[in-house]
Amino acid sequence: MKRIREYGIEIGNLAPGPLNKITDVEGVLVGHETLDTEHHKTGVTVILPCRDNPFVTKLTAAAYVHNGFGKSQGLVQLEELGTLETPIALTNTLNVGKVHDALVDLILEQCAGEGVEVTSVNPVVGECNDSVLNRIKDRPVGTEEVRRAVKAAEKDFKEGAVGAGCGTVCFGLKGGIGSASRRFEIGGETYTLGALVQSNFGSTEDLMINGRPVGKEIVSLTEPAVLDRGSIMVIVATDLPVSDRQLKRILKRAGAGLSRTGSFMGHGSGDIVIGFTTANRIPEKVEKELLTLRILKEEALETAFRAAAEATEEAVLNSLAMAKTMTGYRGKVKHSLTDLWLSKLHC
């Protein structure tokens, strides 16, 4: 499978990072555990925000909910305190609780090994409903799957029908995990912003690629999704020196990227963006009552807004381009964008 740029389709104006993935942000790793069996098309994807313990030195973080038809965990405290203290995990709707438990265990073990006392921890878990292709009621993702995903975390991770994206459906086609990044200068310094998506939203006829109404071209070739009933999780990572409030402003622009792919964020769609920056770390225990943070002025966020929109748009398209046609547990077939349209391009 090839990523969207390998078909000659370049998204936006800003340049991508070396891998054109969220892991272009230094310190970020992504790992998958995929369950692809006769009955199960699901898994878990874990985003490690740093190489050290995020509970001990938390990351400035924020979240933005475009439409809240979702079952994520951990967003209330993240929004209130503006910090992230665990990896972020993505899975299917009915496995959120089990993945949450697994993250608690992992942080407790890591802190115990470092002699850090823990009385509370706030794991962040996102989800999409993959029940079209996966027998979701079996809830097969748990502690061992999360541990394997963490152990497998790497910079150049796989995309498409892997991990939490194994059974997802996007614009009526096979969706999955996709990622992209942008590099840009502000004030003479170079920064990176990356996005990772778990795509599970949209109606076929609405799909747009670089402004082209591709969905209308392929709608006659496959069964269209009548309503936008799915969801999308967007994870944004950056190394910009911003506050949690400024970060939330950036996260809102992921919605512009989603709209450019054809999403209108329908009633039944959970459209949730979670983001963090590696630049402003907050120690768990601080002797002084005052902290000093380095942040950009508001006008300087303009380029970051564009980066968030472009990276999200391209991440969605990569999730589609890298996913193969799949047959689900009830014989339901979801065709890939590559089979139906991309393979016909002469690049």
Question: What burial letters (b/e) apply to 102-111, b meaning 16+ CB within 10 Å?
Answer: bbbebbeebb
Q: Contact 170/202 with Cβ under 8 angstroms?
A: yes
Beta strands in the chain (DSSP E): 29-36, 41-48, 57-68, 83-84, 88-92, 124-128, 169-170, 173-174, 177-186, 189-200, 231-238, 270-283, 326-327, 333-334
231 is catalytic: yes
From the candidates 231, 263, 319, 336, give the one annotated as an active-site residue: 231
Distance CA 170, CA 173 (A): 5
From the candidates 199, 203, 269, 336, give the one annotated as an active-site residue: 269
Q: Contact 257/306 with Cβ under 8 angstroms?
A: no
Q: Contact 142/202 with Cβ under 8 angstroms?
A: no
Q: What are phi and psi of 119, to 5 degrees?
A: -115, -10
Q: What are phi and psi of 148, to 5 degrees?
A: -70, -35
The strands making up 177-186's β-sheet, listed across from edge to edge, are 83-84, 57-68, 270-283, 231-238, 189-200, 177-186
Distance CA 271, CA 233 (A): 6
Distance CA 102, CA 37 (A): 22
Distances (CA, A) of 83 to 77, 78, 246, 271, 324: 8, 5, 13, 21, 36
319 is catalytic: no
Q: What angle do CA 235, 240, 251 make, to 5 degrees?
A: 35
From the candidates 130, 199, 271, 336, give the one annotated as an active-site residue: 271
271 is catalytic: yes
Match 């990044």 to its residue by tokens.
Answer: 181
Distance CA 223, CA 171 (A): 10
- Name the residues annotated as catalytic: 231, 269, 271
